[in-house]
């Protein structure tokens, strides 16, 4: 008891002003406190506000949450080992301060590094080891690694293995995998979480648990239910997947006068039944051509095979695409990773080790699922709405294939069979004034509203990793369950209730909480600690 109470005093001292606590000194403090040295706090050195600001901003990927008015943490803890994470959890719980957990900082609503109450950030970026075991076709990857670092680590060991996760290389593994991340091998292999075989997590008691120790319920929850509701993800053990020596990518643009509506309409019908080796993303953007506002559709493809086999599939089954041999680019899987990340063809794989994106915009994202093809008249009305509304673009991500074969309850991620494609609504801007912020957010909300007749309903489903606070939030108070159910059923459908039961078991006092976390069934009365 002496250790916890004394260490709590140290943390309270730090909370008096914004500072950053280095975990090497945290470790020193822990060891000294164990020996009951009353002067141990002198070993905990801190650095002042400029360094905290640098660390905070280095992993912010949405400028909406990097302004002077954005709430700032009182401490950022940057752990170097599991022990540091455990100590931080125990001490933050003891004094009742909110803990935000950040891996890559790509969460669209800034939930991992912003709060309206006093909070600490546990920033995992130093825990970034990637240990690939090609013999067993597995890898342990720590939560603070980026997808780029993971892909590079796989490529170093094998040219015919990959992993079905996202196309943005600076995304953090911890958030991406725990939220059910996906990529351009979705139709062949499903989601990232469909290939997780073990994990390490720090629970609310500060214990480091693997799959055997945490049990199958918690292991199920952190594979698509969002890890930050249940503990701190330290690492995942993943199963690698085979990739051919040659894959083919393509990029086909169409405008309205180039049969665009026909192509988008038939895309909806074709992608449910076409070869599972083919994934096609459709990027729809308002555009100006010959001084006239219009819409452009860009079909971006990934095929696990060579161009001859690809064309033997698309020519008879999807002629509206108009794919030709010159459109096809054959390459290795790792080069396709670079291609999808928009690097030019002279870029080498070591660029994947760069954790800093070229630019960071103001942005807002939303999501939907389409289960019935949008009719041609609906598409034509959509083109007009996009032109009228302004800048908002849509991304269609094809489903079918392996996604149709996995039951909704297999993981917390429920959006499986019956979905033709997922929509991401997207708008970016660079203006830094409040009027622009309101204008662009209104634009994306208006287009989302326009799409209501064409997307899923009861519930209107959403994708957890496209975090969207518009669909509901919780204040983590006495109504947290009813509040959580609003957004929870949109993210998880029938899996929400199981997630709540697991949360109530593993974290009954709701220590691991955020604006869209999984609530507990335990009332606030009797909870330990101070809820801020």
Q: What is the pTM of this model?
A: 0.91
From 113, 151, 182, 466, the catalytic residue: 466
| Residue 472 exposure: Cα atoms within 13 Å on the Cβ side | 24
Three-class DSSP category at 9: helix
141's tokens: 């990857």
pLDDT tens digit string along 9-28? 334 334 434 445 555 544 44
Q: Which of 47, 103, 39, 96 is nearest to 75 (CA)?
A: 47
Q: Does residue 236 contact residue 173 with C-beta atoms inside 8 Å?
A: yes
Question: Using CA atoms, how far apart are residues 250 and 169, in angstroms rounded to an integer?
Answer: 20
Question: Using CA atoms, how far apart are residues 512 and 221, in angstroms rounded to an integer?
Answer: 14
39's tokens: 């002067």
Q: Does residue 385 carry a pLDDT above 60?
A: yes
- 267 is an active site residue: no
CA distances from 134 to 158, 198, 234 (A): 7, 16, 21
Question: Using CA atoms, how far apart are residues 336 and 229, in angstroms rounded to an integer?
Answer: 34
Q: Give the containing element (helix H, strand E) for 78.
A: strand 75-78
pLDDT tens digit string along 413-469? 999 999 999 999 999 999 999 999 999 999 999 999 999 999 999 999 999 999 999
Q: How many CB atoms lie within 10 A of CB 49?
A: 12
Question: Using CA atoms, how far apart are residues 271 and 276, in angstroms rounded to an integer?
Answer: 9
Range scoring the smallest mean pLDDT among 109-118, 354-363, 486-495: 354-363
Q: Does residue 225 carry a pLDDT above 50?
A: yes
Question: Using CA atoms, how far apart are residues 191 and 166, in angstroms rounded to an integer?
Answer: 9
- Work out the average pLDDT over 319-330: 98
Arithmetic mean of pLDDT over the chain = 90
Question: Using CA atoms, how far apart are residues 292 and 327, in angstroms rounded to an integer?
Answer: 27
pLDDT tens digit string along 91-127? 999 888 999 999 999 999 999 999 999 999 999 999 9
User: Which string of b and e fits 518-531 if b means at least 16 CB within 10 Å?
Assistant: bbbebeeeeeeeeb
Residue given tokens 């209730």 in the structure block: 497
For residue 52, the model assigns a pLDDT of 79
114's tokens: 């912003």
Three-class DSSP category at 366: strand
């Amino acid at each position: 008891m002496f250790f916890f109470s004394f260490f709590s005093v140290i943390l309270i001292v730090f909370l008096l002003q914004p500072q950053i606590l280095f975990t090497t000194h945290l470790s020193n403090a822990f060891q000294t406190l164990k020996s009951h040295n009353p002067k141990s706090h002198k070993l905990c050195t801190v650095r002042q506000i400029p360094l905290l600001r640098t660390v905070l901003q280095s992993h912010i990927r949405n400028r909406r949450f990097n302004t002077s008015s954005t709430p700032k943490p009182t401490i950022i803890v940057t752990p170097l080992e599991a022990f540091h994470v455990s100590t931080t959890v125990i001490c933050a719980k003891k004094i009742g301060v909110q803990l935000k957990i950040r891996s890559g900082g790509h969460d669209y609503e800034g939930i991992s590094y912003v709060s309206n109450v006093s909070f600490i950030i546990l920033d995992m970026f130093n825990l970034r080891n990637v240990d690939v075991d090609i013999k067993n076709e597995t890898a342990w990857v720590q939560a603070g690694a980026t997808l780029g670092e993971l892909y590079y680590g796989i490529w170093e060991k094998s040219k015919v293995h990959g992993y079905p996760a996202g196309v943005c290389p600076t995304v953090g593994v911890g958030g991406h995998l725990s939220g059910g991340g996906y990529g351009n091998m979705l139709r062949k292999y499903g989601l990232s979480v469909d290939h997780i075989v073990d994990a390490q997590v720090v629970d609310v008691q500060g214990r480091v648990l693997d799959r055997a120790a945490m049990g199958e319920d918690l292991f199920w929850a952190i594979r698509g239910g969002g890890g930050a509701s249940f503990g701190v993800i330290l690492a995942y053990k993943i199963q690698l997947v085979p990739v051919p020596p040659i894959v083919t990518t393509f990029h086909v643009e169409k405008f309205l006068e180039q049969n665009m509506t026909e192509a988008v309409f038939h895309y909806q019908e074709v992608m449910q039944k076409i070869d599972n080796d083919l994934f096609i993303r459709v990027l729809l953007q308002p555009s100006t051509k010959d001084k006239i506002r219009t819409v452009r559709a860009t079909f971006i493809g990934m095929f696990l095979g060579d161009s001859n086999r690809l064309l033997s599939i698309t020519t008879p089954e999807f002629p509206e695409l108009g794919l030709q041999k010159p459109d096809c680019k054959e390459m290795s899987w790792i080069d396709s990773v670079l291609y999808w990340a928009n690097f030019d063809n002279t870029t080498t794989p070591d660029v994947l080790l760069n954790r800093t994106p070229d630019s960071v915009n103001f942005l807002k994202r939303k999501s939907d699922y389409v289960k019935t093809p949008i009719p041609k008249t609906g598409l034509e009305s959509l083109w007009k709405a996009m032109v009228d509304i302004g800048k908002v673009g849509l991304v269609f991500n094809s489903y079918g294939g392996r996604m149709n074969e996995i039951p909704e309850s297999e993981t917390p991620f429920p959006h499986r069979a019956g979905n033709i494609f997922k929509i991401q609504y997207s708008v970016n801007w660079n203006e830094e004034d409040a009027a622009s912020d309101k204008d662009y957010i209104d634009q994306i909300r208006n287009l989302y509203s326009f799409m209501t007749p064409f997307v899923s309903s009861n519930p209107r489903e959403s994708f957890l990793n496209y975090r969207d606070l518009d669909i509901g939030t919780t204040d983590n108070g006495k109504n947290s369950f009813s509040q959580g159910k609003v957004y929870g059923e949109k993210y998880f459908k029938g899996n929400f209730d199981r997630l709540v039961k697991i949360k109530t078991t593993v974290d009954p006092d709701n220590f691991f909480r955020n604006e869209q976390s999984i609530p507990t069934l335990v009332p606030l009365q009797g909870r330990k600690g101070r809820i801020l």
